[in-house]
Copies of this chain bind each other. A is one copy, B any other.
Amino acid sequence: MLRIAVLGCGRIGRMHAANIGAHPRTRLAGVFDVSREAAAEVGAREATPVFATDEEVFASREVDAVLIASSTSTHADYIEKAVAAGKPVLCEKPIDLSLERVDRCASTIGKTSLPIMLGFVRRFDPTHRATKAAIANGDIGDVHQIVITSRDPGMAPAAYMEVSGGIFRDMTIHDFDMARFLLGEEPQTVSAVGSRLVNPALMARCEDWDTVSVVLTTPSGKQCVILNSRQAVYGYDQRVEVFGNKGMAISENRRAHDSVRFAAEFTARGAPYLDFFIERYGEAFNAEIGAFVDAVENATAPEVGFADGRAALVLAEAAGRSIREGRPVNTSEVG
Contacts and interface: CB of A to CB of B under 8 A. Distances in A.
A258 B127 contact: yes
A259 B264 contact: no
A234 B259 contact: no
Interface string A192-225: 0101111000000000000111010100011101
A327 interface: yes
Count of this chain's copies in the oligomeric assembly:
4
Contact of A211 (B145, B249, B263, B272): B145
A285 interface: no
Interface stretch (A33-41, A114-122, A128-136): A128-136
Contacts of A215: 191, 193, 213, 215, 225
Nearest to A21: B24
Size band of the interface chain A makes with B: 35 or more
A267 B234 contact: yes
Nearest to A239: B258
B211 A271 contact: no
A252 B259 contact: yes
A134 B263 CA distance: 11
A222 B260 CA distance: 21
B221 A213 contact: no
B223 A257 contact: no
B211 A223 contact: yes
A197 B140 CA distance: 14
A81 interface: no
A335 interface: no
Interface stretch (A2-10, A104-112, A240-248, A288-296): A240-248
- Residue among A22, A129, A212, A258 with the most chain B CB within 10 A? A258
A149 B269 CA distance: 19
Given A229-B144, A261-B249, A270 B268 contact: yes
B213 A196 contact: no
Given A145-B213, A197-B144, A232-B248, A272 B267 contact: yes
A256 interface: yes
B257 A234 contact: no
A255 to B, nearest CB: 7
A95 B249 CA distance: 37
A189 B264 CA distance: 31
Given A255-B267, A261-B248, A225 B223 contact: no
A165 interface: no
Nearest to A197: B144
A147 B225 CA distance: 10
20 contacts: A127-B258, A129-B257, A130-B271, A144-B197, A191-B328, A193-B215, A197-B221, A211-B223, A213-B225, A215-B215, A231-B245, A233-B245, A234-B267, A246-B264, A247-B263, A249-B260, A249-B261, A253-B258, A253-B267, A255-B267
